[in-house]
Structure 1
Amino acid sequence: MAAEDPSVSGVSGRYATALFDLARDEKSIDAVKADLDQFSAMLADSTDLARLVRSPVFSAEAQQRALAAVLEAAGISGISAKFLKVLTANRRLFAVADVIRAFNALVARFKGEATADITVAETLSDKSLDALKTALAKVTGKDVTLNVKVDRSIIGGLVVKLGSRMVDSSLRTKLNSIKHAMKEAG
């Protein structure tokens, strides 16, 4: 399964695939995904946790003790906690963000979902988001989840990345194209 999706490869892909297979067999995919999403959010919010995860300075034992306390405080248990502890014991905790990303890709494929990364110049209305979601669902034939990011530097328009496809209709890109064409003409 991992070989079909380039985002699910390497060490992180192997760990994510093993976790996905176990969660599927235990009929706990949604619970594991929720736990991993919670851990991912904690990782994004805490510089101390990020340092613990990424720094090779901490011994495996120190990482395990600290991780156990974090998981207990967060209420993360079961398969998810055991999996994170295995990553730690195998000295692969530094790859946890990639593993979570790969696991989420496997879950999305399993559920027939797709995720689109959308970059816009300003916040879209709910009506515009729904229209975009509907249009992408028609193109892919799947339920599409939108990850929307606001980047004022694109000036206007939007950039849509869905799987390996990208459509850049940003005003910045169009202006750069005109600028480049004018340089070659002159």
Structure 2
Amino acid sequence: MPESNPIVEDVAAALRLAREARAAVDAIPSRYASGLMALARDAYERGDAGIHDRILDGLAALSRAIETKPWFRRLLEDPRLPAERQLALMLAALDDPQQGIGVPREVRNFVGVVVKNRRAALLERIIAAYRALDSERRGEETAEVVSAVPLDDTQRAQILAALNRAGHARVRLVERVDPTILGGLVVKIGSRLYDSSIRSRLQRLAHAMKGAA
């Protein structure tokens, strides 16, 4: 029986814990997105025909603010801010026309709940999860694309073309930047995962080393 390698075992254990922690964190955006979708469906059933588009537009405004306004991202991600202070600053930013973050009342109130519950740092993932639910409602597929740096239009077109060749006809891309993947792309669509990231290669190497130990 091959002798165990403590270093490789420690790496494997760390990777396993990281996967478990990530799974727990990823469940939170889905829960919040489902709550917002339930609100939208209820409003639609009561006759508000524009609610779905209105919420999507508001979430798009939030995404643009996160991507283009460094102070807004810091406001979301700063763990030192007390909950009440963070909530007050966030609502003030959303209510100030000069900041250019126009969102409808439903999105403003929803963001307030997210911030009050100390989930502001997950807002990008919550938005991505909601877009996936809305795509499902529209009969589309959503591909979550994680890259180390923001994508450009050429890269988006290449990803869509590759997904079309793989049999995914109506696809909406939901993008997220994650510098920790180091390079390459991680594309998740439904239950399928297309992973070309450097981090995944390192993880596979660690598992290979464990098998060879």
Aligned match for 1:17, one of 2, 26, 34: 34
Write out per-residue CA displacement over residues 125-175 of structure 1, whole angstroms, 9 at most, x where no aligned residue.
x8x899667646xx23x5223579xxxx98xxxx8945124387xxxxxxx
Shift of the alpha carbon at 1:83?
0.2
Kindly indicate whether residue 140 of structure 2 is the aligned counterpart of residue 84 of structure 1. no
Which of 163, 166, 174 is the matching residue for 2:194? 166
User: Structure 2: which 5+ residue stretches go unaligned?
Assistant: 1-22, 45-50, 176-182, 197-213
Runs of at least 4 residues of structure 1 off by over 2 A? 115-124, 128-136, 145-148, 159-162, 165-168
Match of 1:30 among 53, 59, 66: 53
- Asked whether the 8 Å contact 2:55–2:106 carries over to 1, the reply is yes
Q: 1:123 aligns with which of 154, 169, 174?
A: 154
> What amino acid does structure 1 have at the position aligned with 2:53?
D
Tell me, yes or no, if the aligned pair for 1:114 and 1:162 is still in contact at 8 Å: no
Aligned to 1:75: 102
CA drift of 1:23 comes to 1.1
**Which sits farther off after the overlay, 67-76 or 31-40?**
67-76
TM-score by structure 2 length? Answer: 0.57
Partner Cα distance (1:56, 1:80) in 2: 22
- Please give the root-mean-square deviation of Cα atoms over the aligned residues, in Å: 3.6
In structure 2, what is the Cα distance between the partners aligned to 1:122 and 1:36?
21
1:17-166 superposed matches below 5 A: 17-27=34-44, 28-72=51-95, 73=97, 74-116=101-143, 117=145, 123=154, 135=165, 139-140=167-168, 142-146=169-173, 161=187, 163=189, 164-166=192-194
Provide closer, same or farther for how the CA distance between residues 160 and 12 of structure 1 changes in structure 2, counting only shifts above 3 A: closer
The Cα offsets for residues 59-88 of structure 1, whole Å up to 9 and x where unpaired, read as 122112211121123221311000000111
Contact map agreement 1:133 1:145 (CA 8 A) in 2: no
> Is the contact between residue 87 and residue 116 of structure 2 (CA under 8 Å) also seen in structure 1?
yes
Aligned residues: 152
The answer as to whether partners of 1:118 and 1:146 remain within 8 angstroms in 2 is: no
Whole-Å Cα distance in 2 between the matches of residues 63 and 160 of structure 1? 32
Relative to structure 1, the CA distance from residue 29 to residue 132 in structure 2 (aligned partners, 3 Å threshold; closer, same or farther) is: same
Contact 2:94–2:102, Cα closer than 8 Å, also in 1:
yes
Distance 1:130 1:49, change over 3 A: closer
Bigger mean CA offset, 85-94 vs 112-121: 112-121
What amino acid is aligned across from residue 40 of structure 1 in structure 2?
S
Q: Distance in 2 between matches of 1:121 and 1:53?
A: 25
- For 2:134 and 2:124, the matched residues in 1 are separated by 15
